[in-house]
Amino acid sequence: MTHFTRRYRLAVLFGLVSVVALVLAGRWLNATKRGGQGPAEPFRIAGNLYYVGATDAAAFLITGPEGHVVLDAGYPSTAPMIMASIAKLGFSIKDVKVLLNSEPHPDHAGGLGVLRQESGAELWASEATAFTLASGGDDPDGILPLRALVWIGVIGYPKMRVDHRFKDGDTIHLGPLALTAHITGGHTRGCTSWSFDVRDGDRVLNVVSACDLGRLATLQYPEQVADLERSIRVLRSLPVDIWVTCHARWWGRYRKFVASTSAEDPVEPFIDPEGYRAYLDSAEAELRSGRLH
């Protein structure tokens, strides 16, 4: 054996070991993130706003006379649970006409492709999010090993078609429903918060679905800190009665749901502007501390 072929073989061996290590690391990463998609009881939050997500991977149904909106979809394997929850509430997945999202990570956007297929709804996304959805989870701001894992199909999700792209401040209409997109980047560049009204009896409540505001060690870009500062400022400026995020435990899904079952006014436990301010305060403190997730 010549010196050259021995080196060649060593290089191939090293390459194979690296790929196996990456695959195992990816599996592990994915497995640890799977928590939070246990089945959860669907319920009405207020008026035409319902919770249809898993224990932690959130999803919301906003119903209307000309069709419904679903916001976020969990992992690909969460989508059947979301569809079962929609059916359990007495609605049809076929009446879902618009699919929205907060961010393109697999735990929130992975199931959008399945929901799109089953409903025939049109999927809307911000420009940056649309790239990631269409590529099955690839984010140009992600670190290389993570992107490589998406490229070889270890993490991520099936690629999906994005029907429409929106800009910051655009409002998506479906009959009388109107949801305004606030591109509040930082966690990801195109992360989108949503504000909309919900009519509950004779009151109108302001709802905000706020972005994740944590910085990831695996995703960084030059304008990230400036984006987060702006995002927190924008979110502070929105009128809020009811607030939610893509991780249900952050806004107290279970606690509020349990409280609502015995409350005289079942909506009252979800009215939580103090919790919203606390969420933004802790995001701001975390930003100042420079802590990464």
CB 148, min distance to Zn ion, A: 19
DSSP codes of every residue in 42-64? -EEEETTEEE-S-SSB--EEE--
Whichever of 103 and 272 has its CB closer to Zn ion, that residue is 103
Whichever of 105 and 215 has its CB closer to Zn ion, that residue is 105
CB 127, min distance to Zn ion, A: 18
CB 227, min distance to Zn ion, A: 14
Whichever of 139 and 197 has its CB closer to Zn ion, that residue is 139
Residue closest to Zn ion when measured from CB atoms: 105
SS3 22: helix
DSSP codes of every residue in 260-293? HHH-SSTTGGGB-HHHHHHHHHHHHHHHHHT---
Which whole-number Å values give the CA distances from 195 to 36, 70, 169, in the listed order? 24, 14, 10
Contact pattern from residue 81 through residue 120 relative to Zn ion, giving x for each residue in contact according to CB under 5 A and a dash for the rest: ----------------------x-x---------------
Number of residues that bind Zn ion (CB under 5 A): 2
Contact pattern from residue 49 through residue 88 relative to Zn ion, giving x for each residue in contact according to CB under 5 A and a dash for the rest: ----------------------------------------
Phi, psi of 275 (to 5 degrees): -60, -35
Whichever of 183 and 205 has its CB closer to Zn ion, that residue is 183
CB 190, min distance to Zn ion, A: 12
CB 9, min distance to Zn ion, A: 41
What residues pair up with 271 in beta bridges, in sequence order? 242
Helix pair angle (144-151, 3-33), 10° resolution? 90
Q: Which residues bind Zn ion (CB under 5 A)?
A: 103, 105
